[in-house]
């Protein structure tokens, strides 16, 4: 089982609040990713990082931001939560060697914005 941890597992929060979803991995992977997953839909890439101080937007940035100050840590921040942000957020990482490295996922944060 991959060592990638997401907290909190579940979060219910009111509209307009600022929230940070945490993601940490202990595998030393340099690449990390945030995906949004809705029931029955494809995983949508929100942000990704190829290393410390490197962040890129995916095809669904969803008014969120990320930071990568440490290799093992890749938090996702929503400055002002809206009901449309209600979804499951999955963090993933992949290894350093070459393009053959597949993604390893955490168990997700299920966010509900009321």
Partner 1 sequence: QKEVEQDPGPLSVPEGAIVSLNCTYSNSAFQYFMWYRQYSRKGPELLMYTYSSGNKEDGRFTAQVDKSSKYISLFIRDSQPSDSATYLCASRQGGSYIPTFGRGTSLIVHP
In the complex, the residues that contact partner 1 under the rule CB under 8 A are 1-2, 4, 6, 31, 33, 40-43, 45, 48, 50, 90, 92, 94, 99-108, 110
Nearer to partner 1, 20 or 58 (CB): 58
List, as one string, the DSSP characters of 67-90. Answer: --SBTTB--EEESS--GGG-EEEE
Distance in Å, CB of 36 to partner 1, minimum: 11
Q: In the numeric block, which tokens belong to residue 107?
A: 């168990």
Nearest distance in Å: CB 40, partner 1: 5
Q: Which of 82, 111, 96, 89 is nearest to 29 (CA)?
A: 96
- Of the pair 14, 102, the CB lying nearest partner 1 is at 102
CA distance 62 to 31: 20
Q: CB of 60: closest distance to partner 1 in angstroms? A: 12
Query: What's the closest the beta carbon of residue 47 comes to partner 1, in angstroms?
Result: 11
Q: Which is nearer to partner 1, 48 or 74 (CB)?
A: 48
The three state secondary structure string of 86-111 is: CEEEEEEEECCCCCCCCCEECCCEEE
């Amino acid at each position: 089982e991959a060592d990638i941890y997401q907290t909190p597992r579940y979060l219910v929060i009111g509209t307009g609040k600022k929230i940070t979803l945490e993601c940490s991995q202990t595998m030393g992977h340099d690449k990390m990713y945030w995906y949004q997953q809705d029931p029955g839909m494809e995983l949508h890439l929100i942000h990704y990082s190829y290393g410390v101080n490197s962040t890129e937007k995916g095809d669904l940035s969803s008014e969120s931001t990320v930071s990568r100050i440490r290799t093992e840590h890749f938090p996702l921040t929503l400055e002002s939560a809206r009901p449309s942000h209600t979804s499951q957020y999955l963090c993933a990482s992949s290894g350093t060697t070459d393009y053959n490295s597949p993604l390893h996922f955490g168990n997700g944060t299920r966010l509900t914005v009321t």
